[in-house]
Amino acid sequence: MSSLDCPDVLVVGAGVVGAACAYYAARAGLTVTVLDRGPVAGGTTGAGEGNLLVSDKEPGPELELALLSLRLWRELGESDEGLARRVEYEAKGGVVVARDERRLKALRSLAAAQSAAGVETAEVPGDRLHELEPYLADGPAGAFHYPQDAQVQPALAAAHLLRASGALVRCGERVTGLLRGPDGRVGGVRTVPSGALPARHVVNATGVWGGEFAAAADVFLPVAPRRGFVLVTEPLPRVVRHKVYAADYVADVASGSAALQTSAVVEGTPAGPVLIGASRERVGFDRALSVEVLRRLAAQAVELFPALAAVRAIRTYAGFRPYLPDHLPAIGPDPRAPGLLHACGHEGAGVGLAPATGLLIARLLTGDEPPLDVRPFRPDRFDGADQSALSDRAV
């Protein structure tokens, strides 16, 4: 059987995480096929802002993954493929604003811990904030500048990583089940319309459908969708120079609440429009437009940048972040289903964490030493927990 008939790796999911898995697996010398039931970047990736952030992460496994990913994104940008220009890589930096002394004190404590973990931070007094952001509102107690924060255009990132990988990409393939050997090992998938597609290893990079895909292998992975909206303004001169957000956003990212949370995140883009987020709520796969969410986002953005009050919002879009209860992705082989690896559950950080995830998957496939401890990301870490409680939280 040829490598086309039975590739070393079959990646299910053509978002940015699946694309990164394909890229690094191919670079490791493996033959790779990528499947998706829709187009490239047709799910969470296509509805994202393209954040590459360390500023919103507390010290720990996710921050280690983010720092590795930032280095890999820079290396990709400097590669022969010229990915930086093609994916609109922009090392814009982040500015986290504290409205009062209480929030500034908490932000100062977080920044100190992040700095000890390798993050570049710089405190900016309130009276010097306009040097970084001329249009920022008066009044904040201060802020922290994170020069490592960056951004890419997420759909372009997925497309160009796939192109650079040389992987065979098959869109319009809906997976209906997994192929299992006599010993229970996962050995491919079954799709409509193609039927059986064997592979030596299968990678679950299906994002918000990661739990459903895992269930097809009879394993439990409590991935759930967490909905978010983004407002897009008319094109403007560069009113917002960095990614700017209120300090409350960090707490919202770390929260496990299913209730609606909104905290202003405002950033300019090379093309001119300003992107305004971020909201979080667990409402299943309900895509219904929420005027209340949009109203809150707009009001909070104007609090940060009063000049936006006179600017038109020309469109909005919604996406679903793949949420896991401990806010860490599932990365690596599943001991409950040999032959199956997971690369999902990154919530809103998938674009930023994609290269490191792809590199880890490639190293685990080839048996090479991973560049960091993968144990916190083990897919079976939820075994032994109250699965009904986790599932209830995920509704």
pLDDT in tens, 132-179: 999 999 999 999 999 999 999 999 999 999 999 999 999 999 999 999
The neighbour count for residue 363, using CB atoms within 10 Å, is 19
User: Per-residue pLDDT averaged across 208-231, rounded?
Assistant: 96
pLDDT value of position 289: 87
| pLDDT, position 217 | 96
Would you give the distance in Å from CA 363 to the centre of its chain?
A: 20
Give residue 392's pLDDT: 43
Decide: 62 and 349 in contact? Cβ < 8 Å: yes
Exposure string of 53-77, with b = 16+ CB inside 10 Å and e = fewer, is bbbbbeeebbbbbbbbbbebbbebb
Least confident of 16-20, 58-62, 284-288, 328-332: 284-288
Domains along the chain?
Answer: 9-51+155-223+326-393 (3.50.50.60), 94-147+224-323 (3.30.9.10)
pLDDT tops 60 at residue 2: no
Query: Would you state the pLDDT for residue 394?
Result: 39
Mean residue pLDDT of the chain comes to 92
What CA–CA distance (Å, rounded) separates 15 from 322?
12
- The pTM of this model reads 0.94
Binned at pLDDT 50, 70 and 90, residue 257 comes out as low
Q: Is the pLDDT of residue 196 over 90?
A: yes
Say whether pLDDT at 77 is over 50. Answer: yes
* Per-residue confidence band for 395, with pLDDT thresholds at 50, 70 and 90: very low
Mean pLDDT, rounded, for 178-201: 97
